[in-house]
Amino acid sequence: MVRAFTPKPQWLRKKITPSLHRSVESVLEAGRLHTICEEAMCPNISECFAQKVATFMILGTLCTRACTFCAVSRGKPLPPDPMEPENVAQAVKRLGLKHVVITSSTRDDLPDGGADHFCQTVHAIKRLDNTIIVELLIPDMEENESALGQISVSGAEIIGHNLETVPRLYHVRRGSEYQRSLRVLEKLASLNPSLATKSGIMLGLGENDDEVRSLMEELLAVGCRYLSIGQYLAPSAHHAAVVEYVDPKRFEFLRNLGMNMGFNYIKSSPYTRSSYMAHEYLERR
């Protein structure tokens, strides 16, 4: 059955301009690197690439899980590339980044979930310039405490792990568990109290404001003080359907709600993504 097409509202018609991508793409090609911007079909790609900003995706482009909201392909990943950490660092230098975000697909095939590779990447960047702020956006690593401990003291200033949606809708996160993701954030904060922790959610999957409020309360209870809220956009007709295109006023309402509850910073808008304008979070705390 073909799903009926619902046109996007005016506020979600952001233009993608491939001609603006070339300077970043040439740096990525030179280092054989990938970005989540490309792999997840991010609508902000032209805006960010034009500013020479990108979120690096390490550990390959194939994921061992099959979340129904995500554009990243599922498959059997290749072993980690030992040159990738240094290549990322060199790309960061060439792009002149002062705040860099590093993420990955979920690598349940690796005993440490990819933790060591994340740490090597942080260390390579810090060796080049210790003043660069490094933000990691990690999978749950199956709640491996040793892996999370390694990540927590990697030298990254901020570590994110996304809840993505409210507990009732976790069928879109195959292989993941809401409470496990909360525990991951809690463990990161307890393993390194000086660390800033961050999470992100999508609206438009059928959640309601009471559920979002409850999620915010649970994030605060585990020490998470930074949050991104954006609109879910289905990558294809085969992915989970968009239930609602959320009005920008609701994003602002939820931002104000969360800030009044005690978050240090929330970015909330239809086009907000986990790493969109990532430098703002620590600057505005």
* Cα 223 to Cα 29: distance, rounded to the nearest angstrom: 38
Q: Which SS3 state, helix, strand or coil, does residue 188 take?
A: helix
**CA gyration radius, the chain:** 18
- Only one residue has tokens 């060591």, namely 116
Per-residue pLDDT reduced to its tens digit, 62-77: 988 988 888 788 899 9
Per the domain annotation, does 253 fall within a domain?
A: yes
Mean pLDDT of the chain: 90
Per the domain annotation, does 180 fall within a domain?
A: yes
Per-residue pLDDT reduced to its tens digit, 95-131: 999 999 999 999 999 999 999 999 999 999 999 999 9
Residue 37 predicted with pLDDT over 90? no
* Cα 115 to Cα 147: distance, rounded to the nearest angstrom: 5
Per the domain annotation, does 248 fall within a domain?
A: yes
* Cα 15 to Cα 238: distance, rounded to the nearest angstrom: 23
User: Within 10 Å of residue 76's Cβ, how many Cβ atoms?
Assistant: 8
- The two three-digit tokens of residue 280, written as one number: 């703002």
Residue 273 predicted with pLDDT over 80? yes
| Total domains in the fold of the chain | 1
Per the domain annotation, does 212 fall within a domain?
A: yes
pLDDT on residue 1: 42
- The two three-digit tokens of residue 200, written as one number: 């992100």
Strand order in 158-160's β-sheet? 55-58, 99-104, 133-137, 158-160, 196-203, 226-231, 265-268
* Cα 173 to Cα 218: distance, rounded to the nearest angstrom: 18
pLDDT on residue 56: 92
* Cα 239 to Cα 186: distance, rounded to the nearest angstrom: 30
Per the domain annotation, does 2 fall within a domain?
A: no
- Domain boundaries, position 91: 15-283
- Strand pairing partners for 228? 200, 267
Quick one: pLDDT band at residue 45, thresholds 50, 70, 90? Answer: confident
- Helix (H) or strand (E) run with residue 160 in it: strand 158-160
Percent of the chain with pLDDT over 90: 68
* Cα 75 to Cα 66: distance, rounded to the nearest angstrom: 9
Per the domain annotation, does 1 fall within a domain?
A: no
- Only one residue has tokens 């005016």, namely 10
Residue 216 predicted with pLDDT over 80? yes
- State how beta strands 226-231 and 55-58 pair: unpaired
Per the domain annotation, does 7 fall within a domain?
A: no
Per the domain annotation, does 164 fall within a domain?
A: yes
Domain CATH for 122: 3.20.20.70
* Cα 88 to Cα 223: distance, rounded to the nearest angstrom: 30
* Cα 232 to Cα 246: distance, rounded to the nearest angstrom: 9
For 2, list phi and psi in degrees, rounded to 5: -85, 130
* Cα 136 to Cα 149: distance, rounded to the nearest angstrom: 14
User: Within 10 Å of residue 25's Cβ, how many Cβ atoms?
Assistant: 14
**Beta strand extents in 213-281 (DSSP E only):** 226-231, 265-268
